[in-house]
A = this chain, B = another copy of it.
Amino acid sequence: MKEEFYTLKGYKIKNEETLSSSMEDYIEMIFRLSKDGKEVRVRELSQALNVQPPSTTKMIRRLAREGYVFYEKYGCINLTEKGEKLGSKLLDRHKTIFEFLKSIGVEKNILEQTEIMEHAVNDEVLSRIKKLTEFLKKCHQNNDRNNGEN
């Protein structure tokens, strides 16, 4: 099992079962927007993601075709159970990366960096980062306590 190099696109082609980063972005945002029972529509989703409505229409049709959302023309966008499950996982991943970046002291463009990095970690890396962040937080608490004593 020799390890070989690929371009980033090469890895995507190799792991063809995985969703594209864009699909993930849309699903994560639909999940966010629909969390407290609100209805999600093309316009709102487009604005939230800073894309034009036709891009959203196109992507929604794709997500519907692949079973992540229910959608019919001019209607509301609803996640299927599969989409819901994934959305929740993606939002979780987002939060994990965000907390990690905060805990290591990143200050500039944290949201942007989170959005970019979240697509680049697989489950194993994510769970390692989660544990690491908990550990770092404990370290910080100890430090704070010790400094507080002075």
Contacts and interface: CB of A to CB of B under 8 A. Distances in A.
Given A9-B22, A50-B5, A117 B116 contact: no
Contact of A49 (B7, B115, B128, B129): B7
A98 to B, nearest CB: 11
A74 interface: no
A109 B111 CA distance: 27
A112 interface: yes
Given A104-B129, A125-B106, A112 B11 contact: yes
A113 interface: yes
A interface secondary structure, majority: helix
A22 B49 contact: no
Contacts of A129: 104
Contact of A124 (B4, B29, B106, B124): B106
A118 to B, nearest CB: 8
A10 interface: yes
A140 to B, nearest CB: 12
Given A51-B7, A111-B3, A128 B116 contact: no
Given A113-B122, A129-B104, A25 B51 contact: no
Listed from nearest, the 10 A-B pairs whose CB atoms lie closest are A120-B120, A8-B21, A7-B25, A104-B128, A3-B111, A117-B120, A116-B120, A6-B50, A7-B22, A104-B132
